[in-house]
Amino acid sequence: MFIKIAPMVKVYISDADMAFIQSHSSESFRSSNLPPSEQERAKILADKAIFVRKKLDNDVQYALNRKIRIFRNDTNKKI
């Protein structure tokens, strides 16, 4: 499965990443509200530009990047 960001960039993600994205796509969240394993996943997805982050004084706030397109199946055959 992949996510397309802007017209030129594809980011491939796992099923676990997709479940995390779906569970946190409706509203923004803070890293202090997540367990340590999910904090690391949010950081990695923010590095891939799927989430945007806002650094606060003592915390980091994440929100879903609204410019992404989610494709369920990569049907293009590559030669």
Higher confidence at residue 10 or residue 51?
51
Q: What is the pLDDT of residue 79?
A: 45
> Is residue 15 situated within a structural domain?
yes
Classify burial at 27, counting beta carbons within 10 Å of its beta carbon; exposed 0-12, middle 13-18, buried 19 or more.
exposed
**Rounded to the nearest 5°, which phi and psi values hold at 30?**
-105, 150
**Chain segment 11-21, per-residue pLDDT in tens:** 888 889 999 99
> Is residue 20 situated within a structural domain?
yes
> Is residue 77 situated within a structural domain?
no
Q: What is the pLDDT of residue 76?
A: 57
Check which CATH number belongs to the domain holding 45 and give it.
1.10.10.10
> Is residue 29 situated within a structural domain?
yes
Q: Provide the whole-model pTM.
A: 0.79
List alpha helices for the chain, DSSP H.
15-23, 36-47
- Is the predicted pLDDT of residue 23 greater than 60, yes or no? yes
* The total number of structural domains that make up the chain: 1
